[in-house]
Amino acid sequence: MGADVRGKTIVITGASSGIGEAAGKQLAAAGARICLVARRADELNRVRDEINSAGGAAWAYPADLTNEASLSDCVDCILDEHGRVDVLVNNAAHSIRRPIIEALDRLHDYQRTININYLAAVGLTLKLLPRMLEQGEGQVVNISTLSSQVPIPLFSAYLASKSALESFSRSMLAELSDQGIAVSVVHFPMVRTPMSNRTSIYRHMPMMNVDKAAGWIVRAIETRDARVGSSMGTLGSLALAAMPGPVTRLTQPLFRQMDKQLAAKLK
């Protein structure tokens, strides 16, 4: 049986919609105290009010996590209002689907993706770690993707940022696990969220729903496992580590065929 989340103070970024909103509601229903973080104050307040109306406990902290001053102010407010922070869920993310050859003059694609997916997550982690170390325990849950475990084309900016976050997660686990800090990486497949819906070609693609995805975050917190994901992702990681060249070459025709089939359904 996993650890009880009742009474835990859990910070969730990207909490104004999608997976973050669903995870906040599931964890609040299980008795956790939820600190909701996102840029959109109106939507964040809506999620907070819905949780509190349902009998949960939630607080809203609007912030632009790509802005260091805004990030610092957000953390200061959280620490001022809560005696402890038990879990940080770095869920906020931005994704771009674009071939590398079409991004030759678009360095900003990589900059804005790394800023939110990696640097914001690291910045928030570094700000909250001292409180967790002072407590003698804490957990950081970093959200990644199945696509970092298999050779997926067209998402180079997104995957590079998530791979950086995974490497940071491994370093943190190696350095701090003996000080009571658990680190979990959740590898989601494609999830039907407002972010994925912006890519029209994926309109007809089967995806995980947000409630099931949120359940994976709950599981990561309850089990404190280093990795939560699918068997496909685990097999993909092993195959890619053992034979990166052959695996990448063999899978590319499959992805091209999938894109053609999805594009045909849009016509």
Which residues are known to be catalytic?
158
Token pair for 198: 């912006």
* Helix (H) or strand (E) segment spanning residue 245: helix 244-266
Token pair for 108: 């900003």
Q: Are strands 181-188 and 33-38 parallel, antiparallel or unpaired?
A: unpaired
In DSSP notation, 45-114 reads: HHHHHHHHHTT-EEEEEE--TTSHHHHHHHHHHHHHH-S---EEEE---------GGG-TT-HHHHHHHH
> How far is the C-alpha of 34 from the C-alpha of 59, rounded, in Å?
6
Burial of 136 (0-12, 13-18, 19+ CB in 10 A): exposed
> How far is the C-alpha of 39 from the C-alpha of 67, rounded, in Å?
11
CB 215 within 8 A of CB 26: yes
Token pair for 28: 């609040």
Q: Which amino acid does the sequence have at 245?
A: G
